Amino acid sequence: MKLWWSMELENGRKNLDRILSSGSFSDGDIVYLLSLREEKEVRALAKRAFDETTRQVGENVYFRGLIEVSNICTLNCRYCGIRRANHALNRYEMKKEEIVELALWAANHGLGNICLQSGERQDEKFVDFISECLKEIHRKTVSERLPNGLGITLSLGDQEKNVYERWAEASGNQQQLRYLARFETSNERLFDFLHSAKGKSKTLDRRLRALKDLRKCGYQVGTGVMIGIPGQTLEDLCADIRLFEELGIDMLGMGPYLRSDGGELLKYGQMEPRELLQLSLNMIAVARLVLKDVNIAAATALDVLDSNGRAKAINFGANVLMPNLTQAKYKSGYQLYDHKPSVEKEASSVLEKVVQDVLGSHRKIAWNLSGSSPHWRKRQISNSGR
């Protein structure tokens, strides 16, 4: 006679096989997959997600060189180390020449893409500054190797629609232009808890409107959430995945919520690192299974939990890595969370680490390629057929 617990385990496994072999997933299935912890089960989930990745987006891993343009921020997101009210920080703005120099470095090292990220500002000086950087990067990086110039991703917060249009025009290359704006959580109450320090600085509605505006302006649109936010449930994460589907997003960037000394959520703690890592990897895998043909980035924050965190994410369905090219002298001023990895390292050794991450997996590095998600390419075809 079998003991009740071993029967239960066996039932669980059968259940897992049934769910993984199916092509569509109920909310119950999603929550169940997110909750997996047993090594055998987690390995089965990873294998299924890895194979789905190969089928949907191929064997390549794409690099986007991250440039943290400025840590000046007008917002007060309570989880974030560079929020406005953190006065313990030296604020910096990179010079245009420094940004262009890093962009050229990326182009010369075969990265094909960069991501300009900054604290959130809407003032004209900033908008104009970004336009000038985009124009010059495009002008200087069109080459035989990169006929459309360096691919650009912007991660510069909520802006008015006309600002997205101005930046698209300045980029000289609207076909490869991408924008990342995480909605952080689809649970409105949780969102308000995260953003309502000293007056509402950000609303979920506004962020969702931004994502829709970006799509209308022709951008490839990326979003994402934090995983393991205090008070967040597996059902919330399932609802996040449903919202990604509903928005028809092209790219995803999701990472663990980590404690931040500069934030003001310290008293709520952080999930135990190993559990948080597994939940984050499960979330990537399940998002891959549900969303199929989108690009999914392995967030740098994963490397805080495990020095191979991003490499593991590749095995769970991620196909984009974002090596941080920002000069060491600025990087320590851009700590969204504690223990940011490689703050003392310059671009070449950061790049070496992500190369090793890919070499250790069964993937290939896509040098000099833009790597638009098949989801976005199919969207273009169906738009032009209308």
Stretch that binds ligand 5AD, among 55-63, 130-138, 258-266, 310-318 (CB under 6 A): 258-266
Residue 220's beta-bridge partner residues?
Answer: 178
Other beta carbons less than 10 A from residue 50's beta carbon: 20
**Position among 78, 182, 215, 312 found at the interface with ligand 5AD (CB under 6 A):** 182
Q: Which CB atom, from 94 or from 146, has the smaller least distance to ligand 5AD?
A: 94
CB of 196 closer than 8 Å to CB of 161 = no
Does residue 184 interact with ligand 5AD by CB under 6 A? Answer: yes
**Containing H/E element for 296?**
strand 295-298
Q: Which of residues 19-78 bind ligand 5AD (CB under 6 A)?
A: none
Closer residue to ligand 5AD (CB): 121 or 182:
182
Q: Which residue has the tokens 């829709």?
A: 212
Exposure pattern of 96-133 as b/e (b: 16+ CB <10 Å)? eebbbebbebbbebebbbbbbbbbbbeeeebbebbbeb
Binding map of ligand 5AD across residues 326-365, x = CB under 6 A, - = no contact? ----------xx----------------------------
Nearer to ligand 5AD, 71 or 372 (CB): 71
Check binding of 309 to ligand 5AD (CB under 6 A).
no
């010059």: which residue's tokens?
Answer: 136
Residue 258 interacting with ligand 5AD (CB under 6 A): yes
Q: DSSP labels for 329-352?
A: HHHTT--SSTT-TTTT--HHHHHH
* Residue 100 Cβ vs ligand 5AD, minimum distance, rounded to whole Å: 23
179 binds ligand 5AD (CB under 6 A): no
Q: Is 157 in the site for ligand 5AD (CB under 6 A)?
A: no
Nearest approach, Cβ of residue 161 and ligand 5AD (Å): 20
| Three-class secondary structure assignment of 170-231 | HHCCHHHCEEECCCECCCHHHHHHHHCCCCCCCCHHHHHHHHHHHHHCCCEEEECEEECCCC
Stretch that binds ligand 5AD, among 96-104, 211-219, 252-260, 326-334 (CB under 6 A): 252-260
Q: How far is the CB of 230 from ligand 5AD (least distance, A)?
A: 11
Does position 257 interact with ligand 5AD (CB under 6 A)? The reply is yes
Instruction: Out of 263, 309, 317, 371, name the contact with ligand 5AD by CB under 6 A.
Output: 263
324 binds ligand 5AD (CB under 6 A): no
Which of 173, 270 has the CB closer to ligand 5AD?
270
Amino acid at 201: S
Kindly tell me which of 107 and 114 has the beta carbon lying closer to ligand 5AD.
114
Single out the residue of 69, 100, 226, 294 in contact with ligand 5AD (rule: CB under 6 A). Answer: 226
> Of the candidates 165, 181, 152, 164, which has an alpha carbon nearest to the alpha carbon of residue 244?
181
CB of 157 to ligand 5AD, least distance (A): 9
The stretch among 158-166, 255-263, 318-326, 370-378 that binds ligand 5AD (CB under 6 A) is 255-263
Q: Does 80 bind ligand 5AD (CB under 6 A)?
A: yes
User: Among the residues of the chain, which ranges form H helices?
Assistant: 4-21, 27-34, 39-57, 96-108, 124-141, 161-171, 188-195, 204-216, 234-247, 273-291, 302-305, 309-315, 328-331, 347-359, 374-384
Query: How far is the CA of 220 from the CAs of 50, 208, 215, 352, 373, in angstroms?
Result: 23, 15, 7, 28, 9
Q: Is 298 in the site for ligand 5AD (CB under 6 A)?
A: no
Among positions 25, 79, 193, 219, the unique one binding ligand 5AD when judged by CB under 6 A: 79
158 vs 184, beta carbon nearer ligand 5AD: 184
Q: Is 301 in the site for ligand 5AD (CB under 6 A)?
A: yes
Decide if residue 260 touches ligand 5AD (CB under 6 A): yes
How far apart CA 312 and CA 316 sit, in angstroms, is: 7
Contact (Cβ atoms closer than 8 angstroms) between residue 353 and residue 342: yes
| C-alpha neighbours within 13 Å on the C-beta side of residue 270 | 21
- Nearest-CA neighbor of 298 among 335, 290, 38, 306? 306
Binding site residues, ligand 5AD, CB under 6 A: 79-80, 182, 184, 226, 255, 257-258, 260, 263, 301, 336-337
